[in-house]
Amino acid sequence: MRLRGTLKVIGAHCEGEVGNVVIDGVGDVPGRTMAEKSEYLEHNMDHIRRTLLFEPRGAPYHAANVIFPSQHPEAEFGFALLQVSKYSWMSGNNLICVATVLLEEGMIPMTEPLTVFKLETPAGLIEATCKCTRGRVENVEFRNVPCFMLHSDRIVDVPGIGSIHVDIAYGGVFYAIVYATQLGFNLEIDETPEICRIGKEIRSACQEQLGVRHPQNEKIADVVSVVVAGPLMRKQTYIEAKNATVINRGRVDRCPCGTGTCARLAVMYAKGQIALGEEFHSYSITDTRFIGKVVGETTVVGVPAVVPTIKGRAWITGVMEYRVDPNDPIESGYVLPDVWS
């Protein structure tokens, strides 16, 4: 077989959501920051994303993270986030996968019981605190970029559904947060097809009817995903809630969604529903869990914002070499609408 290239990939998932990590085969690419490198990949090397994530090698629920050296003086590494429908600015579950792989594969020295380091993402610098035991990463808690509520209790008209109330918040990307009770959902697994259908309609309505743009970076714009949020339940020492987050081409996130949880924390804090330092246990529709907190207040160009943390777990699932034969007529992959909505 004549090979055009080989990509070494460490398979990983975070609380059920696939976030594979490309550790070799791409090399470095032009760009001073991870945002610039991500943009270069999108415009000049998108065949890598298609090869990794589209059929016959990938699937609608795959994501890939390409590791790069970072020019940021505080960062150990950086990474670009490749998803099936876009290049993302930030993803909590993918960052947890990357941090776990870098430590367990020996790319960053592991110190027990805690290893602390910073990673550069397209959204900015993220600090990861990793609990480590006997060479294994038990969990990763990351400190996200500043997050904020952009729109509160806005009404959007959704075709076939009617007028609904939404909050728009930034958690690394922009989310529309809608509440399961007003849509009649109990957030059960058998509701996921309808949640996905309605979530896509809500996202489109928000795009058309609400202005969404980051005040510091005009390239970060538009509602990316929709959090269908369950009711808050106050326990003795923490608050908990379930959610179903409609992401990418219109599927439900298998994990509790790290950046989506950060967006919800920003809304909760702005509305006085959670105190500084109080734990929020965010559950996915599959009952996996992230633990989030608001650990600080800040502003983003005059907009009140919070600094949230998210704690979760990841596991390595395998080591793979993705090979590309130049004679393969579908070397860069394909999608079909039967499973790629």
Q: Give the pLDDT of residue 1.
A: 36
* Rounded (5°) CA angle 139-279-230: 100
Active site residues per annotation: 91
178 burial level (CB within 10 Å; 0-12, 13-18, 19+):
buried
Q: Give the C-alpha separation, 30 to 37, whole Å.
A: 6
Place of tokens 């077989």: 1
**Amino acid code (one letter) for 268:** M
Instruction: Output the pLDDT for position 4.
Output: 60
What pLDDT sits at residue 172? 96
The CATH code belonging to domain 5-144+316-324 is: 3.10.310.10
pLDDT in tens, 42-93: 999 999 999 999 999 999 999 999 999 999 999 999 999 999 999 999 999 9
Contact 264, 149 (CB under 8 A): no
**Residues 6 or more apart in contact with residue 224 via CB below 8 angstroms:** 86, 88, 173, 174, 175, 247
- The angle formed by the CA atoms of residues 18, 167 and 310, to the nearest 5 degrees, is 40
Domain 5-144+316-324 and domain 148-310, same fold? Reply is yes
- CATH fourth-level superfamily of 148-310: Diaminopimelate Epimerase; Chain A, domain 1 (3.10.310.10)
The widest CA-to-CA distance across the chain, in whole angstroms, is 62
Extract the tokens encoding 99: 């941090």
**DSSP for residue 221:** B
pLDDT at residue 3 in the model: 44
- Cα–Cα distance between 165 and 182 in angstroms, integer? 8
Our CA dihedral for 300, 305, 311, 316, rounded to 10 degrees, sits at -30
SS3 content of the chain, % helix, strand, coil (to 5): 20, 45, 35
For the chain, the structural domain boundaries read: 5-144+316-324, 148-310
Run of H or E residues at 179? strand 174-179
pLDDT-flagged residues of the chain (< 50): 1-3
